Amino acid sequence: MLRRSVGFGIRHARLLYHFAKVRKAIRSTRPIDDFYKLQARLMANALGRPEESVRAQIQRDIYDRWELVLKRVPLYEQVPTLIDELERSGLRLGVMSDFPVVRKLELLGLEGRWDCAISTEEVGYLKPNPEPFERLIECLDVKASEILYVGNSYEYDVIGAGRAGLRTAWLNDRRGTSNGIEAGIRPDFTFSHYRELRRWLAPCLTFGGERIQ
């Protein structure tokens, strides 16, 4: 994703720089009455331009154009296989993203496979705030402790899900560490390749009474 975004990043360096700073500020802002209005206002202040003009640019350049990069990004190896196995096992599946999720799934070829597809922006708060995870729990209609949340960010995914009572699997494909493990919140499983996650989940995956290997 990062490699495919280089050209776009060079062309829109100033916009992306301020967008990243604004999103970081929004993550710690409470309460939020209108997420998109707040995002546009903060961006307008940073860029020194009218709010409506900036809001239109965010839609055009971030949500519409940058998202198209996903069409050229391959999925992690074994992700489709794992999703197939989870579906065949009858488990409820959800996906949650800090960006609009429906088009993202279409571009990745993963649409139509989820019981829940949630955009945190539409909830009104970005991860690791509790509201998106509460919406996910409500949508899946199971106890928080019965949900395994898989994510690649310790700060946003593991901490957010962990605080909400979900179990977590952390994709740490750079073999790195987080900026600091929050007391009492550690991933239940850490992996660098999806084949490791498939092996770890194998006892839960059955089809027609037979365990999936």
Query: In angstroms, rounded to a whole number, what is the distance separating the alpha carbons of residues 93 and 112?
Result: 11
Q: List the single range of 3-7, 114-118, 130-134, 191-195 with lowest mean pLDDT.
A: 3-7
4-54 per-position pLDDT tens digit: 889 999 999 999 999 999 999 999 999 999 999 999 999 999 999 999 999
Per-residue pLDDT, averaged over 171-184, amounts to 65
pLDDT of residue 199 exceeding 50: yes
87 in a domain, yes or no? yes
Instruction: Report the number of distinct structural domains present in the chain.
Output: 2
Judge whether 94 and 5 are in contact, CB under 8 Å: no
pTM surpassing 0.75? yes
Identify whether residues 89 and 66 lie together within a single domain.
no
Q: Is 109 helix (H, G, I), strand (E, B) or coil?
A: coil
Instruction: From 71, 97, 127, give the residue that closes a domain.
Output: 71
133: tokens are: 């995870």
Identify whether residues 127 and 65 lie together within a single domain.
no
Identify whether residues 133 and 204 lie together within a single domain.
yes
| Predicted pLDDT at 180 | 54
Range of the domain at 67: 6-71
Using CA atoms in the order 185, 186, 188, 189, what is the torsion angle rounded to 10 degrees? 150
1 in a domain, yes or no? no
Instruction: From 43, 71, 99, give the residue that closes a domain.
Output: 71
Judge whether 47 and 54 are in contact, CB under 8 Å: yes
Identify whether residues 83 and 38 lie together within a single domain.
no
Judge whether 19 and 46 are in contact, CB under 8 Å: no
| Cβ neighbours around 145 below 10 Å, total | 10
49-80 per-position pLDDT tens digit: 999 999 999 999 999 998 888 888 889 999 99
Query: In angstroms, rounded to a whole number, what is the distance separating the alpha carbons of residues 66 and 149?
Result: 26
Identify whether residues 198 and 104 lie together within a single domain.
yes
How would residue 181 be classed by pLDDT, with cut points 50, 70 and 90?
low
Identify whether residues 92 and 38 lie together within a single domain.
no
| Peptide linkage before 31 cis (omega within 30 of 0) | yes
Instruction: From 71, 88, 104, give the residue that closes a domain.
Output: 71
